[in-house]
Structures are given as structure tokens and as C-alpha cells.
């Protein structure tokens, strides 16, 4: 059993969905003793990386895609949406780690995907305790081409119980395997860890699920609950 499992705040840590992905929620995670926060990245039309979950927002009476709005326009919808730059600056002198989920990718960005990747790389290179991850395998492949020296920890979301998880990780050239508890077992976890990969469970919101994650010997998990960290 892993007694030293790392625990992260899912979209920070808050008691209200309206506070998800805000600096306030990240501060609460830090205060609660979380090791890291899992937050969501989007890219605006004026080339700003922002922290927000949904691809679309209600703007000027209609649904608009985040990738088609400026950061100023987003702030008129929700004044608490921070930029990645602001977040990294706020927590620069702390031990809080970051698990960054890349949300708006190839399908939404089109030709702008390369600008996004370069800007993301520029902002996070050299930052300690940081990892990017995505369910978009093509994005990860493109990002690996920019991160040719493999300096940044990269993760992948796995949505099924794989027969060959190690081969899958080698093929995508990533370091962190992120899956729901239902798609993990001791054989998968031990096999991955023997090859030096990191295993994360998402999302763990009960004491029983925490017990299962620890029994599996996972390295880390995210939660929405304040008392899970205790």
C-alpha cells in the first residue's frame, strides 16, 4: 500500500463549482495541504493561455467558443478567470505542483495549434513540479516535437483498461498514466511503475476510493473534497 500518495485539488479546491479553476481555489488547495492542483487550459483568440474548463461560455446572449474570444471578453463573463502566467507567478515561491490539462486542441484551434504549443512550452519550461496532460493524442505528439529534449513531464488520459499499458506509454512518449479507478488494477499499476511511469487516479472523492487508490499503489490522485487529504 502506498502511504505516501500525492493528493491534488481537482480544478483547485472549492465548495462551489463557480470557484473552480480560480486562484482562490488553488490557494485553498495549498492551505489544505494538497501536493498539487489539476487545472484546465484554454487558448484565446488573442493568444492568451487561460484557466477555465468549458470550451464554450455564454457571451453577449449566445454561446461562444473560448478560442474565439479575447481574454478581456472572457473576463466580462467571469472576472475570476486567471491566465496561466498569473497562476505560475502567484505560486512561484510555494511547493504547490501543477497538473495542466490541455483542453482546446487541434479540432478547435486549427492552424493556431503550433502557436499555442510554443507559448505553453515557453511559459512552463523550467517550472518545477509541473506536468501537462491531455486526452488529445495528436496534441501530445506535436508537443513532443517541440519538447525534443524531453524536459517537460507529459501525461495522457486513458479511458479504458488496456492490455498493454507500457507499450501504449512508449508509443506516445509520455510519463504519466491518468485513468479512473475502474480502469486500473494492480497488474497495470505495478507494470507501469516498474518501467518508471507515474500512475494517477482521477477523481477520488470518498474515503473508500482513497483506500482503493492507495492499495493499488498509485502515485497520485485528484479530489474535490477537503477532508480527503487528512
Model pLDDT, residue 16: 72
166 CB-contact burial (10 Å; exposed 0-12 / middle 13-18 / buried 19+): middle
Q: What is the mean pLDDT of the chain?
A: 94
The pTM (predicted TM-score) of the whole model is 0.95
Low-confidence ranges of the chain (pLDDT < 70): 1-3, 104, 230
> Which residue ranges form the domains of the chain, and what is each CATH number?
6-229 (3.20.20.190)
Which uninterrupted H or E stretch holds 202?
Answer: none
Element (H, E) at 97: strand 97-102
Q: What is the pLDDT of residue 227?
A: 83
CB 133 within 8 A of CB 154: yes
Helix axes 165-172, 137-146, angle to 10 degrees: 50
pLDDT digits (tens, 9 = 90+) for 171-182: 999 999 999 999
pLDDT value, residue 1: 53
Amino acid at each position: 500500500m502506498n502511504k505516501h500518495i500525492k493528493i491534488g485539488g481537482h480544478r483547485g479546491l472549492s465548495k462551489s463549482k463557480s470557484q473552480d479553476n480560480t486562484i482562490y481555489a488553488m490557494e485553498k488547495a495549498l492551505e489544505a495541504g494538497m501536493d498539487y492542483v489539476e487545472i484546465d487550459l484554454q487558448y484565446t483568440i488573442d493568444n492568451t493561455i487561460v484557466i477555465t474548463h468549458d470550451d464554450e461560455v455564454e457571451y453577449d446572449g449566445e454561446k461562444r467558443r473560448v478560442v474565439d474570444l479575447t481574454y478581456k471578453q472572457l473576463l466580462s463573463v467571469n472576472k475570476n478567470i486567471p491566465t496561466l502566467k498569473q497562476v505560475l507567478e502567484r505560486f512561484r515561491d510555494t511547493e504547490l505542483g501543477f497538473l495542466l490539462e490541455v483542453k482546446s486542441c487541434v479540432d478547435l484551434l486549427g492552424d493556431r495549434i503550433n502557436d499555442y504549443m510554443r507559448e505553453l512550452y515557453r511559459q512552463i519550461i523550467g517550472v518545477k513540479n509541473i506536468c501537462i496532460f491531455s486526452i488529445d493524442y495528436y496534441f501530445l505528439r506535436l508537443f513532443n516535437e517541440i519538447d525534443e529534449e524531453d524536459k517537460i513531464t507529459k501525461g495522457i488520459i486513458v479511458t479504458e483498461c488496456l492490455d498493454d499499458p507500457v507499450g501504449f506509454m512508449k508509443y506516445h512518449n509520455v510519463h504519466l498514466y491518468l485513468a479512473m479507478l475502474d480502469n486500473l488494477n494492480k497488474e497495470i499499476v505495478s507494470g507501469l511503475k516498474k518501467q518508471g511511469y507515474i500512475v494517477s487516479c482521477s477523481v477520488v472523492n470518498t474515503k473508500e476510493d482513497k483506500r482503493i487508490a492507495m492499495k493499488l499503489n498509485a502515485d497520485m490522485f485528484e479530489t474535490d473534497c477537503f477532508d480527503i487529504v487528512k
